[in-house]
Structure 1
């Protein structure tokens, strides 16, 4: 390989600083809006894809850590939120404080320094406390407060996390109020007006008690994304359900099959008719890997060809799903040698690279070395497309891979 290009990671994460909502919400929400409280942990489990922490009272025994408290929600910061810099065998499900995490998790200057170490030019970051598409605010009781929280997060994301200090190297990803498609459309347009080209969405909305993409309920939101060139970014777990097989399955089971929800979601979109109704739509699957895609496209094409008359899609899906995929869908990976060996069956223009900083799966600080190892058989121009070029085109970045700003 001639020269491995600077990486544009389309799936990293930010751990929100304590003041994101405290500094932006009206004072009347000081006791109910998201805020950090230091308290002990009574117990915490993560089995069958379900995360269940219990916060203790002051003076209780147990490890002490930082918790996000919002209405009745108590959500601790954990080592799984920010694991880079720790030996793999030291990464366990445990509560932590801000002082116990790598500063690059929440500090812009430190993040840029860690990106330099990892050969990363720029990065798109998903949230932590709001969860991957803002489910935290969707589940809250006070919808007025929830909308303010969504807007406050987006303002912080654009003005601070991706503000002047980031020098274009952090690319904004915003949230929407998932409970109202019209409000969601308005938020897409508000952020598009200041240069944002990516919005988080749920891989399987019905798992959140929301309409599916087979209905017309999302049309205002989809129209706004279509008109503004805003890519719809769906992260594994953005349906609030990590794949698992049983209530007692250890986390390793779910971690092995994390791609499953992406697979289900992609078939939903390909068979929904939305990609033809809104021809400018682009969707991407963060952390879903890519090795599974060729078979699903093959099967979807067979079903469309052989079964569309009784399969309920003949009147809305007029082209083979694989053609729709090529024009509208992007798979994202950080470690998928099998997928790269089968790149011809996926399409070099439909693949994006990521580092997953600061999660336990992250390839930091060796994302360049992993990429070189797995892409060594590919032509230089193909490597450049996967590692940077496709992201530049999709996210409207400069030729150097930077966010141009508002």
Structure 2
């Protein structure tokens, strides 16, 4: 491909600097709010989709790591948080310090430099310590502190990570307090007023002990997203339950089927009736890939056509699911040759590109080369839409692909 468009990645990640919450929480919360503590790692496992680290104390043996400590939570930084730059076979489940990670993981200046290396113009970044939709704060005991934690993260995201130093190249993605739909709606509107057009949400809320999208509990939040043009972004793992088959399955099993929760979630939304009630609503699935989508749409249409009478959707799903998908749903991929070979069955307008920096699956620093290899059969105007044009439209960016703020 003679010229490949500058990439707008809709799924990268930021590792939050140590000061995000310490600089923003009231003094009374300094000792229990999120903070970094350097301590040894006693042991850490990741089996059956469950991550279990154990923090040591003074005098304990074990590799030294930087830990996020928040209420009773102890969560180390890990090599899986920031694996780019390492040979794939060198990436292990190990705890690390900030000095042991690539600076672009947490430094705006260094992130921009790594984006330049990777032919990336702009990037939307999901959180690390709060987890992919803010589960860390949802699970906390102190709701007042949790709400302050969500707002502090959003202020840092908008004012610093996506602030003047980024020059519009970093696109804000904010959190909401998932435990209260009215508070969530207020936070969507607060951030929309300063130009934010994307918010994190859980792919399967009941896995977090929250209501499903089939009831009306989420309506205040959905209404706020609809009215402000805020895209609901759902990342794999945002239900705190990665797909797996058994308690002793190795991580490779879950890594192979990471798309599964996106698949379940998309069917949930298509059969929920929410898109008819909130016609401006848009949702996107980060890191879910796209190759699985055509069959699911085919099957959903058959079920809607043949079984909607007894299937509980006749009165609320008023159009075929495939039509709802075309108007409301976006699939995101970074390495999916099969999906691109079947792009006509998905729809070019519904596909977005990503690089997953700095995770172990990331195509950095070869995202351009991967895109050229997998999109070589497509016309240049279609490549342009997939790589950047669709993201510009969906996220309300400038014609040049930059975030302009409020």
Equivalent position SS for 1:74: strand
Matched with 2:340 is 340
The answer as to 2:154 corresponding to 1:167 is no
Distance in 2 of aligned mates of 1:349 and 1:374? 17
Aligned residue for 1:263? 263
Provide the rounded CA distance (Å) in 2 between the counterparts of 1:60 and 1:22.
27
**Residue pair 1:138, 1:178 contacting (<8 A) in 2 also:** yes
- Asked whether the 8 Å contact 1:2–1:380 carries over to 2, the reply is no
1:57 aligns with 2:57: yes
Matched with 1:9 is 9
Any idea what the Cα deviations from partners look like across 1:235-277, whole Å, max 9, x if unmatched? 0000000000000000000000000000000000000000110
Q: 1-side partners of 2:122 and 2:400: how far apart?
A: 9
2:67 match: 67
3-state DSSP class of the match of 1:21?
A: coil
After superposition, residues 6-405 of structure 1 pair within 5 angstroms as 6-405=6-405
Distance 1:197 1:2 in 2: 33
| Deviation at residue 80 of structure 1 after TM alignment | 0.1
| Cα displacement (A) at 1:135 | 0.2
1:14-57 per-position Cα deviation (integer Å, ceiling 9, x unaligned): 00000000000000001100000000001100000000000001
Alpha-carbon distance between aligned partners in 1 of 2:367 and 2:333, rounded to the nearest angstrom: 11
Aligned positions, number: 406
* C-alpha displacement of 1:366: 0.3
> What CA distance in whole angstroms lies between the structure 2 residues aligned with 1:77 and 1:140?
19
Taking the aligned partners of 1:276 and 1:136, their CA distance within structure 2 comes to 32
Q: Per the alignment, in what secondary structure is the counterpart of residue 159 of structure 2?
A: helix
Give CA-to-partner distance per residue, 1:59-112, whole Å, 9 cap, x none.
Answer: 100111000000000000000000000011110000000000000000000000
Q: Give the superposition deviation at 1:3.
A: 1.1
Shift of 1:168: 0.1
Q: TM-score, normalised by structure 2?
A: 1.00
- How much has 1:2 moved relative to structure 2? 3.5
- Distance in 2, Cα, partners of 1:176 & 1:194: 15
SS of residue matched to 1:154:
helix
Q: CA deviation at 1:405?
A: 1.4
Q: For the residues of structure 2 that align with 1:192 and 1:86, how far apart are their CA atoms?
A: 37
CA contact (8 A) 1:80 1:93 kept: yes
Hey, what's the Cα distance between the residues in 1 that align with 2:266 and 2:323? 13
Query: CA deviation digits over 1:325-383, x for unaligned, max 9?
Result: 00000000000000000000000000000000000000000000000000000000000
